[in-house]
Amino acid sequence: MKKNPLIPFAWTAVIGLILIIGVSFWALQQGGEESAEGHGEKQEQAEAAAPEEIYAQNCASCHGGDLGGQVGPALTAVGGKYSKDEILGIIKNGKGSGMPAGLIEGEQAEAVAKWLSEKK
Domain count of the fold of the chain: 2
pLDDT, tens digit (0-9, with 9 covering 90-100), for 41-50: 555 554 557 9
**Structural domain that includes position 87:** 51-117
Do 76 and 94 belong to one domain?
yes
Tell me if 62 is assigned to a ligand binding site: yes
pLDDT in tens, 1-18: 578 888 889 999 999 999
- What integer best gives the mean pLDDT of the chain? 85
> For the whole prediction, is pTM greater than 0.75?
no
41 and 63 part of one domain: no
Inter-CA distances, 60 with 51, 64, 65, Å:
12, 4, 5
- The arithmetic mean of pLDDT across residues 105-114, rounded, is 92
Query: What burial letters (b/e) apply to 81-110, b meaning 16+ CB within 10 Å?
Result: ebeeeebbebbbeeeeeebeeebbeeebbb
The distance from CA 59 to its chain's CA centroid, rounded to whole angstroms, is 15
Q: Is 31 annotated as contributing to ligand binding?
A: no
**Could you tell me the CATH number of the domain that includes residue 69?**
1.10.760.10
Query: Is 39 among the annotated ligand-binding positions?
Result: no
Sign of the Cα pseudo-torsion (23, 26, 32, 35, in order): negative
Q: Give the model confidence (pLDDT) of 49-77 as tens digits.
A: 799 999 999 998 899 889 898 888 999 99
Q: How confident is the model at residue 12, as a pLDDT?
A: 94
Say if residue 99 carries a ligand binding annotation: yes
